[in-house]
């Protein structure tokens, strides 16, 4: 069901881009919008992982440096029949973790120093299982595509708005009635908002799915539940240096400077509320094998 929801949201996101291109440039505008999305998706496919690791300050680590992390990762990767991802450490106190990479053979998992210091073995296992689930479910690729299309929609809306002001694109009928400018303004405002909401919906669905898959990978949800509780508490107090462009990949939303109202923060969050994630995990029924 979660896969179908994600597919629906991705389809809706693409349709918003095509409708936007058609509104400003007719059939040719649709072709330009689609071509723009293809180019940006290709860039995200090959380079988004490198950008995420570089921007967060992540450093590669060897088995000799972090044997505890490698032991957990290798055990879970073997259990999930996945290649062992490249492992990175982010030198900061705020506990967090994220996975990146276009497919299981080109995946990386980064954890902060704070996370390794804070988590016991069961909690660390729950966090790593969650991140491996993102790799297994191709969530990083899906999220990168969604973010790229959303960015293309915003860019096309701005281009179309300025083009309409100077009489380019759109239909002459709209311009004759004086509706072209109003349509352009509505597109400029509504299209990026629709794209953002769809993108956030995809991100939240993939977080729920990774929680569930990770708990089943381990065989019980309690380590992940405890980890999420700790992560929620500590990330309310310790600011993070991970950039906001990478925050959507993290297991919990990092704390940044400044603040907004709780309603708006929840509405525009890339992550579901921790309380709802924990409640969903508590309701899971896992049958142990053997």
228/100 Cα distance (integer angstroms):
20
In 57-106, which ranges are continuous DSSP H helix? 67-79
Give the β-pairing of 86-90 and 108-112: parallel
Beta carbons within 10 angstroms of residue 38's beta carbon:
12
Coil, strand or helix at 119? coil
Phi and psi at residue 87, in whole multiples of 5°? -110, 140
Q: Which residues fall within 8 angstroms of residue 178, CB to CB, at 6 or more apart?
A: none
Q: Which DSSP category does 106 fall into?
A: G
Q: Which residues fall within 8 angstroms of residue 217, CB to CB, at 6 or more apart?
A: 76, 79, 80, 129, 132, 133
256/208 Cα distance (integer angstroms):
23
In the chain, which ranges are continuous DSSP H helix? 2-56, 67-79, 113-118, 121-136, 139-165, 172-176, 180-218, 222-234, 244-247, 262-267, 274-282
215/225 Cα distance (integer angstroms):
9
51/140 Cα distance (integer angstroms):
13
In which residue are the tokens 């044997």 written? 67
Residues labelled as active-site residues: 131
């Amino acid at each position: 069901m979660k896969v179908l929801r994600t597919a629906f949201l991705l389809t809706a996101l693409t349709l918003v881009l095509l409708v936007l291109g058609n509104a400003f440039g007719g059939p040719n505008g649709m072709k330009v919008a689609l071509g723009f999305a293809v180019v940006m998706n290709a860039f995200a496919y090959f380079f988004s992982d490198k950008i995420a690791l570089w921007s967060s300050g992540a450093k590669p680590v060897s088995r000799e440096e972090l044997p505890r992390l490698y032991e957990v990762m290798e055990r879970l990767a073997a259990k999930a029949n996945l290649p062992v991802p490249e492992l990175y450490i982010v030198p900061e106190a705020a506990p967090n973790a994220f996975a990146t990479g276009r497919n299981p053979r080109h995946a990386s998992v980064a954890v902060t120093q704070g996370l390794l210091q804070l988590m016991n073995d069961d909690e660390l296992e729950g966090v790593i299982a969650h991140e491996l689930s993102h790799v297994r479910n191709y969530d990083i690729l899906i999220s990168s595509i969604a973010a790229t299309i959303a960015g293309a929609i915003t860019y096309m809306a701005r281009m179309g708005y300025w083009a309409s002001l100077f009489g380019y694109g759109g239909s002459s009928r709209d311009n004759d009635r004086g509706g072209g400018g109003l349509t352009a303004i509505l597109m400029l405002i509504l299209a990026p908002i629709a794209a953002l909401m769809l993108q956030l919906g995809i991100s939240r669905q993939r977080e729920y799915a990774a929680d569930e898959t990770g708990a089943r990978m381990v065989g019980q949800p309690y380590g992940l539940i405890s980890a999420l509780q700790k992560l929620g508490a500590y990330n309310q107090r310790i600011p993070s240096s991970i950039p906001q462009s990478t925050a959507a990949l993290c297991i919990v939303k990092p704390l940044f400077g400044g603040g907004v109202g709780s309603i708006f923060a929840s509405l525009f969050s890339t992550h579901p509320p921790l309380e709802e994630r924990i409640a969903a995990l508590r309701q899971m029924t896992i049958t142990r094998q053997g």
